[in-house]
Structure 1
Amino acid sequence: VFLSFQGYAGGDESRMLRRRLSDTSAKIGVGPNRAAVATSMLRKYGAQIGVAILDDGMQHLSLLRDVDIVMINALNPWGNKHLIPRGPMREPLTALTRAHILLIHHANLVSQPQLKTILSTVHDNGATCPVFFSKLVPSHIFQVNQPMHRLPLHVLHGIIVLCVSAIGCPDAFIHSVQEVFPPFLFLSLCLQTFVLVLPILKYGTMVVVRL
């Protein structure tokens, strides 16, 4: 399997996947020119690569593809329904007709009426492909300085947990933490966060968790 990423900013996604997939045969390529990255990887690994997965590839129309898989965040499926820069969408909803598979993620965090509304919007815009549902289930935690050493979730029971997040849509993260690590304190990543964290560190009652 070959995974291709654009490589925005610090490239944290590719680094995370390299760490998580280090015990597999998956190859990861990063670069703004997707075709050049893929060509280089194919020359290097050849027949070892049976499947190429392109992240954020729906709008990369210059590349041939066999399947378009579109993931929809059930917690915030369409934003304000406006295109960039007025909203978060890269294409109109009618572009869903190009998808071969739709995956509604975090389906367990919304109600059945909300899921039905999402499906209605999908079908109203002409999409006829299969629709699947998925959810995120935390399996373990790890210390920042030992990312390969997995710890069971129960080690944090009874401990006050401070969660720091810098992801764009943290709602799912908050839900997961509420289910697994009550009680907890949630703070978005900003300058104010570090001002609040420092006094807590002195007392040794805080554990920073990254899921």
Structure 2
Amino acid sequence: MPDSISLLIADDHELVRLALQHALRPLADALDLFTADDAASTEAALAGRSLAGAPVQVALIDWGMPGVAGIAWFRTLIAANPATRVVVMSGAENPTTVRELLAAGAAGFIPKTDSAAVILQALRLVLAGGTYAPARLLSADAAVTSNREAGKDTLNPGIDALTGRQLDVLRLLAKGMPNKLIARELALSEGTIKVHLLAIFRTLNVNNRTEAVVAATAFLADSG
């Protein structure tokens, strides 16, 4: 992760902005924070930074702010700020909207019901070049509805396929432990931990530790 990150938090509720500023401090040693409370101030903040030659790296924007006119507004904003990774937050979880946002170029979608830990990991993934959205919102609508009615976890369908030992490894991974400490905690060799991690990545359809941690953190927050 870079030592310095510029971040715009755009939300019309002051308490939400303050809470996010506090929760996201661990993103970098030097966090250059900007805030906005409606569509116009968001556009102005991003344009001002771009004109100054230092575009905002990540913009975390509320879907329901005053002046935000749905997908079309985000599509225009993203096109006007190609150097900024735009992540949308919302209290509503609509799979169709999420897929349309990602297709429009958004780098992620985070439900406001997610914990601070999940939001932090999601932004780390975005900063690393990835795209984040809960798996439950990327699957077919019918499957999402079916799983919710059955009371099943849908944050990552692959979670259910992990063995008990793999879940143990994943939980420790979510705590930020390196392989050596995970091996010591579970009384296993580092080689065995690496084998478990490879299996976890394959099962969850992720490419690295960061993506696995995002999946694990979301799962643990939902189940805990």
TM range (shorter): 0.3 to 0.5
Determine which structure has the larger helix proportion and give its number.
2
Greater radius of gyration (CA): 1
TM-score, structure 1 length as denominator? Answer: 0.35
TM-score, structure 2 length as denominator? Answer: 0.34
